[in-house]
Structure 1
Amino acid sequence: MEKIDLNKIYKRKKSDRDIFQELMPFKVKEILLIANYYDSYTIEREGQFSGKIFGEYLQLNLFAAPRFTSVANEEGALHELKKRHFDLIIIMAGLDKETPILTSRHIKELYPDICQLMLVNNNADLSYLLSSEKEISESIERVFVWNGSTKVFLAMAKYLEDKINLEADTKLGDVRVILVVEDSVKYYSRYLPLLYTEIMSQTQAIIAEEPSNDEMGVILRMRVRPKLILVSNFEDAVGIINKYRNNIIGVISDVRYAHNGVEDEDAGVSLIKYVQQLDNKIPCLLQSHEANNERRAREVNAHFINKNSLTLAREIQDFIKNQLGFGDFIFRDHNGKAIDRAHNIEEFRQKLMTIPDESLEYHAIRNGISTWLMARAEINLAKKLRRYSFSYFKSPDEIRRFIANVFEASKLKKLRGRIIKFNPKLVNSNRYITLLGDGSLGGKGRGLAFLSNFIENVYLKKLIPDLRVAIPKTAVIGVDEFDNFLETNNLYDVIFEDKEYDHVLEAFRTARLSEKLRDNLRKYLQVMTKPLAVRSSGLFEDSLNQPFAGVYSTYLLPNNHPDFERRLEDVENAIKLVFASIYSPESRAYFNAIDYMIEEEKMAVIIQEVIGNEHNGRYYPEISGVAQSYNFYPFSYIQPEDGFAVTAIGLGAYVVGGEKTHRFSPAYPKLQLASTQDKIKASQRYFYGVNMLAQDYDLYRDGENAAIKAYDISEAERDGTLEYTASVYDFMNDQITYDFSVKGPRIVDFSKILQYDYFPLAPTLQILLNIFSQAMGSPVEIEFSVNFESGTPIFYLLQIKPLIKNEYNIDIDDLSIDPTHVLLKADKGMGNGKLQYIRDVVYVDPDKFDRLRTEEIAEEIKRHNSQIAREGDKYLLIGPGRWGTRDPLTGIPVQWSDIANAKVIVEQGLPDFPLDASLGSHFFHNVTSMKVGYFAIPFQSADAFINFDILRQQDVIEEFKYSRHVRFKAPLTVWMDGKKQTSVVTY
């Protein structure tokens, strides 16, 4: 399969927060103030200027105030401009007005891209500058008047930011625009500080209504405030209106200003008429120092403010708050009379369901709802509602239902792929991860959070149109609860000083989880009533360096006891047992083997709904599996990069335990070299399910398998779950059939799915392995389940982890190896490179091997490993069948910790004990991540062998009934050709 271009399919859906982050790309961070010593002193007021500026910003929740650099003349300005970049230059024109103009021109010639604004000391100085307006405009963009308030500097900076960011922000975030048309420097120098202060204050007040917002969220949401765009003539105003018509939420206009190059005393009225023709829902404000213009404002349905009003600031505040959507939402009847109000979005949503139909029609016609929502930074929601008009709907009830559905869909869409705080109303969904307790998610938790986010932002429907991909409903308890559990229950002594695991378990059993977590669990279980998996998620687990695969515990619970308190107790016990599993003997051995400090490990806990359906008291999915993007045991024309998958019926514990499963390459699912008899022999004979009838189990007594039961494959046939996963061997006609009325062995080969494409399992795996390995930057392993829900298969991703592969390769064919000194040779293996420090070999004597005593052999191997571990050495391990299998009839059922010091592991075939290479997920994952050599040597193979005669000649260090530990005098040399999967060990 060709490599999928991840950049083309990973189109991360922009949430409102994402949009906020991209808004306002240009910000005024550095301002150069050019003012002579006297003017500079006037502004600075004995050093208080910078503090006042910062105070203005801080008061409005603008956390990044610009830095001012003051210079006294052109020479100082040019010196500073050479040193660093400035976003804005403010030139102060005091008693001397010629010099600032000359300075401005010179700077413009050298730095044409930096905006320059001029600030004059008082209104009296304007007459001179305005008489030279054409000359000034060549280098100065706009003139402002210093009115004694530092707010003018905020207005100057925000004026420039809004002008530069206008086009990009309206396209990206549909940001609202307030158009201000004023040609009087005196008045816009007064208006803009008032307007900016009020808009930011109102935006801040709206944000405060949402208590869930974090500090960064507050800062980001400030970016979506409306933009103030200042123009000074009719043509520029019309240009803004035409270009940003759908974004204009208000127009504030003077009455008299230039139109067609000459002053027009009706320009403001004409502009408002033009606006009303385009959209009569846009609030307009005429402002004038002539009181008789109030009548003209009413004639064009505009509000009016007298520029000379003593309450000018209050009147502007009222206009912004009540007309531009910043205040409460006022529900009105058909006459426009107020009948109710909503203070925030949640209150609005609730009252929307109960207001009279006439009020709903009133607001639907005017589309004021989207304006109000936009003021609250609900960009996506507002845009959705703006697409529809009242005429689209048949009745007010239909409008009401539509708006309610848009609100609900918008709320859920924001959560998709995210980690959200616990809310009992939201836990019953698999579109996000719920956080039951604070802190890090741990390794598995991070993997699940990545999966959740990834599948919500990749258009999988385009890649996999015929199969839905999802994750189970998942909640995570962060590691803070683990720390709190140890500390409040005084457990540090028992875990670090008392190494007896039984004592640790007893201490954890009697300890209590925090009341907050217990309360959350109680609410959680009132909603979640299906079987639950309580899984470990240690900080080190599934990491890129040491995955700790299968080291910690997982508990599956029926979660169906009639006594609710028993259900709660089971979940609490499972959590505490997962916590305790860090300190199990297996875990301690693993930590010792990899030289990690157990004190550094912390445990998060994952609670997942178990995927499956209930059949006659047993609960399980139709298919469970593991897939890897790199195949260490390829055959025929399959390449290692094609990956592989193993599948089975029932719970995934069967697959990761290394038992009889069906193996295939997703790239070549139809390629099968096994004979029919081999298929029958290798077919799955039983499966695992959650025993829904179990009531008297005890997790402390019965362990991880307390509520898991093994069922004969015939039970699956009775449940009707073999229909698409198995075939039947018809003895009478010596053929494979899918008629289950025929007597004969059932072969779990998934042939209807893989050979006849009942649903696209193999292509789905191939695509997912392709994109996930790119996303993680390494080969990956995924665990999955397929469940039929209402007859439709759904593919569930349960876990993802990196599969470490040593990239260093050697070519054995190019080596000069003395054939008389070869201890063993393997033509199937994994591992890369050269080892030259192993002297110890532990092997099962093939002459003494008894397939009915494999559990005893496992105990012997464990003892050998412990002895070698005490000496701090590594060794080569050889034995028949599968290492780490759960089925004692197919190999040696060791735990990983039982052989953790083995650096090379060999699986050997014997007569009547054919080798079927280990596929156990957890076992294999540890082998690959710890760079352990892993070889398979079939019985009587021409290209693979073990020289047991040489082994018998070595010094015996320790010998038991079935196994022997020997030591060579000089280190062995292990050659591993990872590309060809061939290996040689020489002595």
Structure 2
Amino acid sequence: MLSKLKLNQLYFKDTQFVNLMTKRIFNVLLIANPYDAFMLEDDGRIDEKIFNEYMSLSLRYPPRFTQVSTAEETWEKLSETMFDLVICMPASDNSDTFDIAREVKEKYPHLPLVVLTPFSHGIRKRMEHEDLSIFEYVFCWLGNTDLLVSIIKLIEDKMNLQHDIEEVGVQMIMLVEDSIRFYSSVLPNLYKFVLQQSQEFATEALNEHQRTLRMRGRPKIVLTRSYEEAMGLYQKYSHNMLGIISDARFPHDGVTDPLAGIKLLTEVRKQDPFIPLILQSAEESNRAYADQLEAQFIDKNSKKMNIDLREAVSNNFGFGDFIFRDPYTMEEVARIHNLKELQNTLFSIPAESFLYHIRHNHISRWLYSRAMFPLAEFVKQMSWDSLQDLNAHRQIIFDAIVKYRKMKNQGVVAIFQRDRFDRYSNFARIGDGSLGGKGRGLAFIDNMVKRHPDFEEFENATVVIPKTVVLCTDIFDEFMDTNRLYQIALSDADDDTILRAFLHAKLPDRLVEDFFAFFEVVKSPIAIRSSSLLEDSHYQPFAGIYSTYMIPYLDDKYEMLRMLSDAIKGVYASVYYKDSKAYMQATSNVIDQEKMAVILQEVVGTQYGDRYYPAISGVARSVNYYPINDELAEEGTVSLALGLGKYIVDGGLTLRVCPYHPNQVLQTSEMEIALRETQTRFYALDLKNMGENFSLDDGFNLLKLHVKDAEADGALNYIASTYDPYDMVIRDGIYPGGRKLITFANILQHDVFPLARILQLVQKYGQGEMRRPVEIEFAVNFNARTKSGVFYLLQIRPMVDMKADLQEDLNAIPDDRLLLKSENSLGHGTMEDIQDVIYVKTDGYSASNNQLIAYDIEKLNRRFLDEDKHYVLVGPGRWGSSDTWLGIPVKWPNISAARVIVEAGLTNYRVDPSQGTHFFQNLTSFGVGYFTINAYMNDGIYNQALLDSMPAVEETKFLRWVRFERPLTVKMDGKKKIGVVMFNE
């Protein structure tokens, strides 16, 4: 029980590697006579050597060396540049290097000084009489540039030691050694080994940037030269020691003690029975002490001493692979390369081997050396004594690894690696180009959820993004170039021809294995969405312009691969369709700047026989220009529906609710409205459709079903209410007989699932971090049996809010100056550049002609686009409805030059305000006004008589287009929902 408790309280905070190793050495001053400096550089290229050395260890920021040989030069350089380190090379003659050094120390007491010298007889004699206390270290130069890297790293480690240990618990290796010759040759070896190891473990990082940062978490190396210094450091940082390497003979109480090292290690061993110790000595007799202390012994006289030391460090300090051994024979039982492997083999390790390694803290030490601090810390606390139950121990380490990996994967765009992508991976990219608009939005919300722990507070809900892999824009470029598609794409060919050409082209072969690896992990249908460079960018909405295909999950990988590649090519082709080109023109973008990334994402939902769909889909907007009752505009609004989200985007009947008032739903407030205005149809993915007839319509494999089909699937628990025709009431929940209404009542009013609270958080943080109103798409998989669910964030994009400040009272404008007035308008701002009005004639109007009216409007709209002019559009019913009986079925590109769009009800044809359907995003970003007027009910003003009396620029069977001499003035107050169009005398 203890374990379960601890794990639930465990909130792994990600290690902030950025805050580590903040103090660096950038400039080094070298004081040496020209000959010695030349000797040091061998052939005069020390910067280049150091640079190469740094690069080979993938270290950043190699330092720069400045060489001086006289006191004058020294002072001149010190006055010009900030130096971080001074290296002195005394020559054998009586040069004044030491005198210069002493003066430098007096003037710059905080500047570290180091002596570097070839140990010839003359220099040794000279140094005996010098006071070396001003120097941090003395090193022996044997002509190896590695030593310079070690000196710099040693001093950097010392500068950052305390901060980094306290910040995240970085580990350290302590070297106790007073022989200059000896530590000058051991340190370069040790550093090279540790740096290479940290390169190895940095592969646990998910992308290049993280990789370089993780290197900062490598263990530090500290050199101590006396018993007191070593003991002091051990007492201070005993919890962060990876291991100790000690000589036997060094100063203790001011005199050289041949057994100082043994005394030190004995004291350490008393305090920590498991810390790895290495004793090195030139005296073979000390080997016996090493055995007593359970320390490795290394013979300093051995020719291969450096190799022995490396091996001892590698085997004992938790570096390299983790090897599970049989405690009796010490034979290898299993070898672990990375965290994922450890997780997969935990339960198959023999009990006695597992116990041996836990008892000796080996697992936590291995995790520490790989800079996985939160996890290492946790595993270290779960000691054998506290738990004493082997299976519980395996389980708890397993759970902790899972939790840690989930935390690491969240909010990070990883590079897709076939062998590493698994069910704990969240977001990966293939290619090096841009992620495109939607891709960036997804990466952003994933990161946002990770940073705010209140998303973790729900007992029965988790908030995540679906598993996502993005094919970056460079794959698109490569596809277009290698298949030579630009010629046809940019031509005037029709959409179908373009699509066929793209379907015949070939995607890069190397993607095949990646796709297979993705199928393995996702095991659900996949949505292939466009993520173009311009789409969802902050100021240009491209919502709904490009295609989104969905494909079912199949056991036949190759069949699935075929469908996936067709879908990707279909999305690529949609960049060059007629509508997209028209839209580009409307937004003054250049089509060849558009590049397409493609998002592959698991489809949220549940399989019911041959159909697949989620319990809830929705779109949340953080600003609501239609606040009703006591809702506030800034509380936002959400549209909810059963089934796939395409239904909402197509302007279907959804449930509109404010997350701060989930009990007040207009549509379910009265029985009549509820029966008339709740969802009756929904979309599901057809799992039988194999995409043989791959077409321009990206919804070719979606089924539009009746709500009663969902009832038969058993998918309506907790999301539907039942209408009882006998008692004429609506009851929340599913009861036999009676029509089922999609009201989400149990979730909204009875809080079976914390949907409203999650939406409040998502809107609050989304808007807060984007610093502007946002629109968020989401879906929920809800399990009625356990009353729990997963809330998936699918997309976030800015709603571009008009900041125009309207001070005047629009109600004060006299009616005789108004052409149009709506008290239920959408939009905010002022326009003064429109002279034209296109309106649908009302005499003999019939909804059966709506499709024909749409064609007429499209033709006129194209002329406005060509002339870069705008107009006011007036017509009955809902604009853009996919149901032609409810309104005129235009798509955004067909009316994209309109700047005010009016829904005008007729006595015999009244449609409730559509509250901005498919083009909500486009309306808000272009600042288009959307008015609802039912003038015959005294709801607003529509002066049609004036328009009828004016000559038409053009007239068709259904439409009239008139032009005013002077521009009209449009004013909209979004907070008060009033909009007017005035004509100027």
State TM-score, norm by structure 1. Answer: 0.89
Mapped to 1, the partners of 2:536 and 2:618 lie a distance apart of 18
Letter in 2 for 1:910: L
- Give the 3-state SS of the residue equivalent to 1:841 in structure 2: strand
- Correspondence for 2:108: 111
In the TM superposition, what whole-angstrom CA distance separates every residue of 1:845-891 from its partner, at most 9, and x where no partner exists? 23343233222222222122123223332111111222111222222
* Distance of aligned partners of 1:203 and 1:872 in 2 relative to their CA distance in 1, 3 Å threshold: closer
Percent of counterpart pairs with the same letter? Answer: 38
Mapped to 2, the partners of 1:426 and 1:117 lie a distance apart of 45
How far 1:773 moved relative to its partner?
Answer: 0.9
- Correspondence for 2:961: 965
* Distance of aligned partners of 1:853 and 1:677 in 2 relative to their CA distance in 1, 3 Å threshold: farther
- Correspondence for 1:495: 489
Superposition pairs of residues 11-410 of structure 1, within 5 angstroms: 19-37=16-34, 39-45=36-42, 47-94=44-91, 99-120=96-117, 122=119, 124=121, 125-126=123-124, 129=127, 131=129, 133=131, 136-137=132-133, 139-201=134-196, 203=198, 206=200, 219-290=212-283, 292-305=285-298, 307=300, 310-326=303-319, 332-335=325-328, 337-339=330-332, 342=335, 344-345=337-338, 357-391=351-385
8 A contact 1:730–1:742 mirrored in 2: no
- Correspondence for 1:833: 829
8 A contact 1:642–1:666 mirrored in 2: yes
* Distance of aligned partners of 1:936 and 1:660 in 2 relative to their CA distance in 1, 3 Å threshold: same
- The worse-fitting range, judged by mean Cα deviation, of 166-175 and 884-893 is 166-175
Letter in 1 for 2:971: W
- The worse-fitting range, judged by mean Cα deviation, of 397-406 and 917-926 is 397-406
1:670 alignment partner, one of 655, 660, 663 = 663
How far 1:273 moved relative to its partner?
Answer: 0.9
Mapped to 2, the partners of 1:528 and 1:303 lie a distance apart of 48
2:885 alignment partner, one of 874, 884, 889 = 889
How far 1:645 moved relative to its partner?
Answer: 1.1
Mapped to 2, the partners of 1:49 and 1:272 lie a distance apart of 39
- Correspondence for 2:909: 913
Letter in 1 for 2:154: Y
Q: State yes or no: 1:680 paired with 2:691.
A: no
- Correspondence for 2:799: 803
2:943 alignment partner, one of 947, 952, 955 = 947
Letter in 2 for 1:269: I
8 A contact 2:525–2:603 mirrored in 1: yes
- Correspondence for 1:476: 470
How far 1:477 moved relative to its partner?
Answer: 3.1
How far 1:347 moved relative to its partner?
Answer: 7.7
How far 1:966 moved relative to its partner?
Answer: 0.9
* Distance of aligned partners of 1:774 and 1:214 in 2 relative to their CA distance in 1, 3 Å threshold: closer
How far 1:626 moved relative to its partner?
Answer: 1.2
Q: State yes or no: 1:846 paired with 2:842.
A: yes
How far 1:126 moved relative to its partner?
Answer: 4.9
- Give the 3-state SS of the residue equivalent to 2:88 in structure 1: strand
8 A contact 2:626–2:915 mirrored in 1: no
1:855 alignment partner, one of 841, 851, 855 = 851
8 A contact 1:679–1:747 mirrored in 2: no
Letter in 2 for 1:117: V
- Give the 3-state SS of the residue equivalent to 1:892 in structure 2: coil
In the TM superposition, what whole-angstrom CA distance separates every residue of 1:82-141 from its partner, at most 9, and x where no partner exists? 3232111223333577954554444344433322223345365456555554xx53x433
* Distance of aligned partners of 1:86 and 1:849 in 2 relative to their CA distance in 1, 3 Å threshold: farther
How far 1:894 moved relative to its partner?
Answer: 0.7
How far 1:20 moved relative to its partner?
Answer: 4.5
Mapped to 2, the partners of 1:696 and 1:909 lie a distance apart of 43
* Distance of aligned partners of 1:905 and 1:188 in 2 relative to their CA distance in 1, 3 Å threshold: same
- The worse-fitting range, judged by mean Cα deviation, of 358-367 and 892-901 is 358-367
* Distance of aligned partners of 1:700 and 1:826 in 2 relative to their CA distance in 1, 3 Å threshold: same
In the TM superposition, what whole-angstrom CA distance separates every residue of 1:686-711 from its partner, at most 9, and x where no partner exists? 22232647548754458233222333
8 A contact 1:685–1:712 mirrored in 2: no
- The worse-fitting range, judged by mean Cα deviation, of 23-32 and 602-611 is 602-611
8 A contact 2:881–2:888 mirrored in 1: yes
1:865 alignment partner, one of 857, 861, 865 = 861
Mapped to 1, the partners of 2:440 and 2:86 lie a distance apart of 47
- Correspondence for 2:442: 448
* Distance of aligned partners of 1:821 and 1:220 in 2 relative to their CA distance in 1, 3 Å threshold: closer
Q: State yes or no: 1:901 paired with 2:894.
A: no
- The worse-fitting range, judged by mean Cα deviation, of 667-676 and 800-809 is 667-676
- Correspondence for 1:777: 771
Letter in 2 for 1:660: L
- Give the 3-state SS of the residue equivalent to 1:107 in structure 2: helix
How far 1:390 moved relative to its partner?
Answer: 4.0
* Distance of aligned partners of 1:406 and 1:188 in 2 relative to their CA distance in 1, 3 Å threshold: same
- Give the 3-state SS of the residue equivalent to 1:877 in structure 2: strand
Mapped to 2, the partners of 1:104 and 1:693 lie a distance apart of 80
* Distance of aligned partners of 1:333 and 1:462 in 2 relative to their CA distance in 1, 3 Å threshold: closer
State TM-score, norm by structure 2. Answer: 0.89
What is the aligned length? Answer: 969
2:929 alignment partner, one of 933, 956, 969 = 933
- Correspondence for 2:480: 486
- Correspondence for 1:6: none
Mapped to 1, the partners of 2:734 and 2:288 lie a distance apart of 90
- Give the 3-state SS of the residue equivalent to 2:678 in structure 1: coil
Mapped to 1, the partners of 2:616 and 2:206 lie a distance apart of 42
Letter in 1 for 2:777: E
8 A contact 1:651–1:687 mirrored in 2: no
* Distance of aligned partners of 1:368 and 1:97 in 2 relative to their CA distance in 1, 3 Å threshold: farther
8 A contact 1:531–1:609 mirrored in 2: yes
Mapped to 2, the partners of 1:50 and 1:215 lie a distance apart of 25
* Distance of aligned partners of 1:500 and 1:140 in 2 relative to their CA distance in 1, 3 Å threshold: same
- The worse-fitting range, judged by mean Cα deviation, of 796-805 and 46-55 is 46-55
* Distance of aligned partners of 1:846 and 1:54 in 2 relative to their CA distance in 1, 3 Å threshold: same
How far 1:764 moved relative to its partner?
Answer: 1.9
- Give the 3-state SS of the residue equivalent to 2:449 in structure 1: helix
Letter in 1 for 2:152: A
8 A contact 2:722–2:735 mirrored in 1: no
- The worse-fitting range, judged by mean Cα deviation, of 299-308 and 649-658 is 299-308
* Distance of aligned partners of 1:389 and 1:775 in 2 relative to their CA distance in 1, 3 Å threshold: same
In the TM superposition, what whole-angstrom CA distance separates every residue of 1:427-467 from its partner, at most 9, and x where no partner exists? 77475025466643322222223233332343244554553
Mapped to 2, the partners of 1:815 and 1:98 lie a distance apart of 94
In the TM superposition, what whole-angstrom CA distance separates every residue of 1:700-746 from its partner, at most 9, and x where no partner exists? 45823322233333334444444533445556555443476587665
Question: CA RMSD for the aligned pairs?
Answer: 3.6
* Distance of aligned partners of 1:331 and 1:660 in 2 relative to their CA distance in 1, 3 Å threshold: closer
How far 1:959 moved relative to its partner?
Answer: 1.2
Mapped to 2, the partners of 1:430 and 1:369 lie a distance apart of 21
- Correspondence for 2:5: none
In the TM superposition, what whole-angstrom CA distance separates every residue of 1:151-177 from its partner, at most 9, and x where no partner exists? 443332122111111122233443332
How far 1:354 moved relative to its partner?
Answer: 6.6
- Correspondence for 2:572: 579
* Distance of aligned partners of 1:649 and 1:184 in 2 relative to their CA distance in 1, 3 Å threshold: closer
8 A contact 1:809–1:978 mirrored in 2: no
In the TM superposition, what whole-angstrom CA distance separates every residue of 1:50-93 from its partner, at most 9, and x where no partner exists? 34444544454445321111223344333323323211122333
Mapped to 1, the partners of 2:56 and 2:696 lie a distance apart of 61
* Distance of aligned partners of 1:174 and 1:830 in 2 relative to their CA distance in 1, 3 Å threshold: same
- Correspondence for 1:983: 979
How far 1:941 moved relative to its partner?
Answer: 5.8
2:507 alignment partner, one of 507, 510, 513 = 513
Q: State yes or no: 1:646 paired with 2:639.
A: yes
Letter in 1 for 2:673: K
